[in-house]
Chains A and B, each alone.
Chain A
Amino acid sequence: MTDGPGMTSRLNDGRDPVPFEEWDRPRGEWLLSGECRRPGDRSLLLEMTTRAVFPTVLVFSLYLLLVGHYGPGGGFSAGLVAGLAFVLRYIAGGNADFGAVVSPRAPVVIGSGLAVALVTGLVPAAFGAPVLSTTKLAADVPLFGPVELQTSLFLDVGVYLLIVGVVLDLLRALGDGIERDMDDAGEAL
């Protein structure tokens, strides 16, 4: 029997047999990709904390985004909070995990955020109002009762996306990029 392609990949995926030096390496995939450049650098505590905190922080950032018109919050701070969640993820999981969890390209996020904000600014002109003016939309949603919506929320959504995109781009350029450069140069981090 010859080694088929399937055979090779099963042998090469590095799971069995476990090398002696890595017998205590965590098997469970606490973060999405479950792998990192230097297994010795992993911290189980940080990974587990991140796993618990990451979605919570994202939800909290959405709360800040929505509440921004009436209380402390808004697109910028919400975007930064969400960005911090990604920073935590990057610190815990390294760039391999980061690449797995963040699939959209940062420029696309930045561009669409900017576009959303600008279109929000331009839409009032179509109704004869000054550019960038806002209005309150009220509706009776069945289960929720009366819901009020400031149109400036869409501007905030744009800013939110923009900031998240910028943080992702920063992590890619300054975090991931520098790490790759250092690996290329053969330096230890």
Chain B
Amino acid sequence: MITINVVMALTVGVLYGVGFTLLLSRSLMRVLIGVVVLGHGTNLLLQLAGGPPGRPPIVGTAPPESFADPLPQALALTAIVITFALTTFLLALGYRAFVLVGHDEVQDDVEDRRIARQKVPSAPLESGDGSDDAEQDLERADDEVEAEAARGRDRS
């Protein structure tokens, strides 16, 4: 077991808190910053997992008992590389969303929208093609979908 100092524990806590808060936002840019901050927090935690700071772990430069643990450093380096790659990917994705959709916000949950759209909460699940039509194209405006649903009900 390793004890860590309080300042570092608080720092990790703040980084996690900020990261998770940003992850909860809708804009992909904020999510991206959240991922970066969270990544920093995780890497710091990895470093702390290796114990107190020490001399560079190179044989012959210092007595072995004063070495820092090199393994967490290697793990953190790998994690940094991966976070770097994913950050660039998210940047590209956010830009693409911005170009194609006009914003970079995460969409509503499809089921939530369906439920919100239902006028009668006790509508039967198998109510024919009318209400089910609604889910085919969720990008359409709500009133358009409702008009279609009304048409479907007329048909059946």
The reply to whether A and B meet directly (CB within 8 Å) is yes
Contact with B along A158-182 (1 / 0, CB 8 A): 0000000010001001100010010
Which chain B positions have C-beta within 8 A of A170? 88
Query: Which residue of chain B has its CB nearest to the CB of A178?
Result: B95
Q: How many Å from the CB of B50 to the closest CB on chain A?
A: 19
Which chain A positions have C-beta within 8 A of B2? none
Q: How many Å from the CB of B96 to the closest CB on chain A?
A: 10
Report the bound CA distance from A43 to B4 in whole Å. Answer: 50
Judging by beta carbons under 8 Å apart, are A76 and B88 in contact?
A: no
Size class of the contact patch on chain A: under 10
Report the bound CA distance from A173 to B99 in whole Å. Answer: 14
Judging by beta carbons under 8 Å apart, are B88 and A181 in contact?
A: no
Which chain B positions have C-beta within 8 A of A166? 85
B6 CB within 8 Å of chain A: no
Judging by beta carbons under 8 Å apart, are B99 and A181 in contact?
A: yes
B91 CB within 8 Å of chain A: yes
B81 CB within 8 Å of chain A: yes
Report the bound CA distance from A178 to B91 in whole Å. Answer: 12
Judging by beta carbons under 8 Å apart, are B81 and A173 in contact?
A: no
Q: How many Å from the CB of B41 to the closest CB on chain A?
A: 22
Judging by beta carbons under 8 Å apart, are B92 and A76 in contact?
A: no
Report the bound CA distance from A181 to B98 in whole Å. Answer: 12
Judging by beta carbons under 8 Å apart, are B81 and A76 in contact?
A: yes
Query: Which residue of chain B has its CB nearest to the CB of A70?
Result: B58
Report the bound CA distance from A156 to B81 in whole Å. Answer: 15
Contact with A along B82-120 (1 / 0, CB 8 A): 000100100110010001000000000000000000000
Which chain B positions have C-beta within 8 A of A178? 95
Which chain B positions have C-beta within 8 A of A76? 77, 81
Q: How many Å from the CB of A182 to the closest CB on chain B?
A: 10
Q: Hey, which bits of chain B sit against chain A, CB under 8 A?
A: 77, 81, 85, 88, 91-92, 95, 99
Q: Hey, which bits of chain A sit against chain B, CB under 8 A?
A: 76, 166, 170, 173-174, 178, 181
**What are 8 residue pairs bridging A and B, where the CB atoms are less than 8 Å apart in the complex?**
A76-B77, A76-B81, A166-B85, A170-B88, A174-B88, A174-B95, A178-B95, A181-B99
Q: A170-B88, A174-B91, A178-B95 are in contact. List 8 more A-B contacts (CB 8 A).
A: A76-B77, A76-B81, A166-B85, A173-B92, A174-B88, A174-B92, A174-B95, A181-B99
User: Nearest 8 A-B pairs (CB), nearest first?
Assistant: A170-B88, A174-B92, A173-B92, A181-B99, A178-B95, A174-B91, A76-B81, A174-B95
